[in-house]
Structure 1
Amino acid sequence: MKETVYPSAVQGRIVAPASKSYAQRALAAALLVPVSDNPAGWSELRNMGLCNDTSAALDAVRRLGAEIRYGENRGTYYVEGGFLRRRPQELNIGESGLSARLFTPLAAQSPEPVTVTGHGSILKRPVASAMAEPLRRLGASVSFSGDGFLPLTVSGPLRGGTVEVDGSLSSQFITGLLMASPLSAEDTHLAVRRPKSVPYLAMTLEVLHAFGISAAHAADYTEFVIPGRQRYRAAVYNIEGDWSGASCLLVAGAVASLPGGEGVTVDNLNPGSLQADRAIVEALTRAGVPMDFCGRVLTVRRTEVLRAFEFDATDCPDLFPALAALAAFCGGTTVLRGTTRLTHKESDRAATIAAEFAKLGVEVDLSQADVMAVRGLTAPDGKLRVRDTSLDSHNDHRIAMATAVAALRADRAVVIDGAEAVNKSYPEFWNDLKNICLK
């Protein structure tokens, strides 16, 4: 699928998509509520949008025993637990890295083998090798091909115990262990080396608490103690708006709205959210972007001059594409740190940003270790000088969104190939973007 993006000013009001990170965690927690707890075994999940990743998680919880009913209100789902009421031989988690690392430890609680697989880019990401040894130490049987990729087959159950986990590349497997370990016969002690994306671990603990699970942890998230033989409790849970999906729309307001105009307003953003990508507000502030927060409504306006800034995105790597789009219009060179977190995303995201933004006339320097330096706009008319009108998402949803936003201030239209990649996290992105473009 191709999308043509024409130079345009933006203005208007939209609603942030639901957080897929919270939705996948809440679905897993609702699955783990014992079916014997009926009639209190049904959880109510509100404001849950269906992107590809959330749909994959929904399919996984069904296969693992949950019953699903759809509420009358849009986005409301009723989930009856009953973990392992059904014994699937296979779980297909699509292209979702979180679901791969979340549902593998859950599947490892099954006494019968379960194969976790997917399709597309997830099969090129070495997610299996990092999970195998910790799961074995906790009592699971694990097998996978020698290259470290999915598919991976596990069986258990996990017994608990003490295990060390590398947290330097992703927090998602730790999330899976945190959610599976309360079902183990013994307590589980997790020692985490070099934890990254710590806000996502805080999100997991928040969801666990909402569903009645306790877990102790060190202040720096390097140690966790999860008591065994716990019981999940059904809950009414509101899925908050997604700061990751909203980040590009906020940048659109910062760089492409009318100077002195109404800007872009995004609803359903929790200012106190534990989502790591709430840090986009700090980046916008450093760039000098005018903003107004009223409750859960954030309005971003454009100012005539944006300033280059420094920002460490180690704990929020999904912001890199949006940050590059913002930096493209800031005077001077913006320095973004944390690029080592980008290698095993849907694309080699740092290299992809450099390649695709170069087509828009934006210089992105990756010569320094763990650093992305973006040289801001120098054209006197405030427009990017497009060198190649054919852009490619590289099947990466965040690349598709960020290049579209940057192209709003280009000197001519561009065509983005692979535009359907946005379905992974934000299926309504193209409609929302068109609705705020001024005709």
Structure 2
Amino acid sequence: MMQHCNKMLHHYIQQSHSNVTIKEIIPGKLQGRIASPTSKSYAQRALAAALLVPESAHPAGWSELRRMGLCNDTSAALDAIQRLGASVRYGDNRDTYYIEGGFLRQAPAELHIGESGLSARLFTPIAAQSPTPITITGHGSILRRPVAASMVAPLRRLGATVTDGANGCLPLTVSGPLRGGTVEVDGSLSSQFITGLLMASPLSEAETRLLVRQPRSLPYLAMTLEVLRTFGIEVTHAPDYTEFVIPGRQQYRPTVCSIEGDWSGASCLLVGGAIASELRGAGIIVENLNPRSLQADRAIITALERAGAILASSGHLWTVGRPATLRSFEFDATDCPDLFPALVALAAFCSGTTVLRGTNRLTHKESDRAATLATEFAKLGVEIDLSTPDTMAIRGISTSDGSLTVRDPRLDSHNDHRIAMATAVAALRADRPVTITHAEAVEKSYPHFWDDLDTLYTA
């Protein structure tokens, strides 16, 4: 079946034998105004916290989560909290969710977290508070990523019984409860397991002390602490996040909170304004982006400034336009690795060579993201050098008309949502149409991406 969108002429080709979606991107420009998706990072944390509010809490244990748009990862978290005992009601406008806590009101034998790395590392320590075994599993790439490897020893040290899967991957079976104590955790590859421990440990009988080696993604830990404070949980920590102290026997309190817009999901839209809007024109406006957000990917604004994009902000509105020339820049994305695809799309149109650091954080994403970026952007005529450890060098275009010279029009997202979005935005400035296979990958974080891109598109 092939459907033609009204404006952008994306072609949806559903291949029924494999459920693959292929999209064709027609070169063009972006203009207009769009709302950012909501933050799945905040949403998953808030859902977990709402689950942990006891049934006896006043008033009646219900939390209200506003502006919570669903994507695959958030839907997986919503399903997980219901399996663990929470009750869910939907507001009239369908983006407000009322959550009644009731952790372990029922204890499932299995918890399915989709393909979400955050949910895998977040709900495993929470499930480890259950006196009966719970198996954490998922599907797709999450079963090939070694998300379980760093969790086993710390959980056992805190009192859990753990049956680990093959090669450090899911499925993983845990039971507890966690008793508290002092434990050392490796923070060099991800902060997500630390987030899980921070959220589960307040339920332990005794105090928990986390000693973190080489903490990374510090803004994400700050987000976790913010959510915990919102739900009434006390945590003290060292300024550099190398140590956390979590008193035991705490009680989560029901609350009302609004989920922020997602800087991660919006990053490709913002880059799209810098590279694909009308030259020195009005640019595009993206709504619902908190300028003081703790989200690590707010740093996309720093990168756009360094590249010389036209930028303006008013409250939570951001306008990004395309200047006559974008310049190469240097950027350390160690603490915001999800920005790499958007940064590569930006760098492709910058004069000179852009240097990005932090590629060591990209190996165990939905794809081997550094290698995938090099492969797929090479098809668009963009050279990416990965020969220097932990570094990516992107040589910007040098064509006279400022367009990408397509070498192979058949792009593949590798089932990676951020690769799909970044290549789509970059392809708006290609010298001919391209296709993107596995375009459905955007459903993981930004299900309405193609519709929103089409809303902004003009030939």
Normalized against structure 2, the TM-score is what?
0.95
2:372 matches 1:382 = no
1:92: Cα distance to partner? 0.3
Tell me which residue corresponds to 1:159. Answer: 179
**Contact 2:351/2:397 (<8 A) preserved:** yes
Q: 1:267 aligns with which of 270, 284, 287?
A: 287
2:222 matches 1:202 = yes
Tell me which residue corresponds to 1:367. Answer: 387
Tell me which residue corresponds to 1:174. Answer: 194
Tell me which residue corresponds to 2:160. Answer: 140
Does the residue aligned with 1:37 lie in a helix, a strand or coil?
coil
Tell me which residue corresponds to 2:458. Answer: 438
Does the residue aligned with 2:27 lie in a helix, a strand or coil?
coil
Distance 1:268 1:429 in 2: 15
Does the residue aligned with 2:239 lie in a helix, a strand or coil?
coil
2:428 matches 1:428 = no
Identical pairs, percent: 73
After superposition, the C-alpha distances for 1:262-310 in whole angstroms (9 at most, x for unaligned) are: 1010000000000000000000000001111100000000001000000
AA aligned opposite 2:51: L
Tell me which residue corresponds to 1:419. Answer: 439
**Contact 2:58/2:254 (<8 A) preserved:** no
Normalized against structure 1, the TM-score is what?
0.99
Distance 2:346 2:199 in 1: 36
Does the residue aligned with 2:441 lie in a helix, a strand or coil?
helix
Q: 1:257 aligns with which of 242, 263, 277?
A: 277
1:148: Cα distance to partner? 1.0
AA aligned opposite 1:191: L
Does the residue aligned with 2:150 lie in a helix, a strand or coil?
helix
2:101 matches 1:81 = yes
Tell me which residue corresponds to 1:220. Answer: 240
2:143 matches 1:119 = no
After superposition, the C-alpha distances for 1:326-359 in whole angstroms (9 at most, x for unaligned) are: 0000000000000000000000000000000000
Tell me which residue corresponds to 1:60. Answer: 80
1:38: Cα distance to partner? 4.6
Q: 1:245 aligns with which of 231, 251, 265?
A: 265
After superposition, the C-alpha distances for 1:41-99 in whole angstroms (9 at most, x for unaligned) are: 10000000110000000000000000000001231000000000011000000000000
Tell me which residue corresponds to 1:358. Answer: 378
Distance 1:66 1:55 in 2: 14
After superposition, the C-alpha distances for 1:6-29 in whole angstroms (9 at most, x for unaligned) are: 100110100000000000000000
After superposition, the C-alpha distances for 1:131-173 in whole angstroms (9 at most, x for unaligned) are: 0000000000001233111000000000000000000000000
AA aligned opposite 2:92: E
Does the residue aligned with 1:300 lie in a helix, a strand or coil?
strand
Distance 1:196 1:24 in 2: 19
Tell me which residue corresponds to 1:400. Answer: 420
RMSD (Å), alpha carbons:
0.6
Tell me which residue corresponds to 2:366. Answer: 346
Does the residue aligned with 2:400 lie in a helix, a strand or coil?
coil
**Contact 2:59/2:254 (<8 A) preserved:** no
Q: 1:278 aligns with which of 289, 298, 302?
A: 298
After superposition, the C-alpha distances for 1:176-210 in whole angstroms (9 at most, x for unaligned) are: 00000000000000000000000000000000000
Where structure 1 has 5 or more consecutive residues not aligned to the other structure, the ranges are: none
Distance 1:167 1:292 in 2: 36
Distance 1:73 1:368 in 2: 50
**Contact 2:263/2:298 (<8 A) preserved:** yes
Tell me which residue corresponds to 2:9. Answer: none
**Contact 2:284/2:319 (<8 A) preserved:** yes
Distance 1:106 1:274 in 2: 24
Where structure 2 has 5 or more consecutive residues not aligned to the other structure, the ranges are: 1-20
Instruction: Count the aligned residue pairs.
Output: 439
Q: 1:331 aligns with which of 351, 362, 369?
A: 351
2:206 matches 1:186 = yes
Moved over 2 A (4+): none
Q: 1:46 aligns with which of 26, 51, 66?
A: 66
Does the residue aligned with 2:50 lie in a helix, a strand or coil?
helix
1:129: Cα distance to partner? 1.5
Distance 2:61 2:273 in 1: 43
Distance 1:296 1:322 in 2: 20
Tell me which residue corresponds to 1:7. Answer: 27
Distance 1:356 1:110 in 2: 44
Tell me which residue corresponds to 1:103. Answer: 123
After superposition, the C-alpha distances for 1:365-410 in whole angstroms (9 at most, x for unaligned) are: 0000000000001001110000000000000000000000000000
Does the residue aligned with 1:364 lie in a helix, a strand or coil?
strand
2:343 matches 1:309 = no
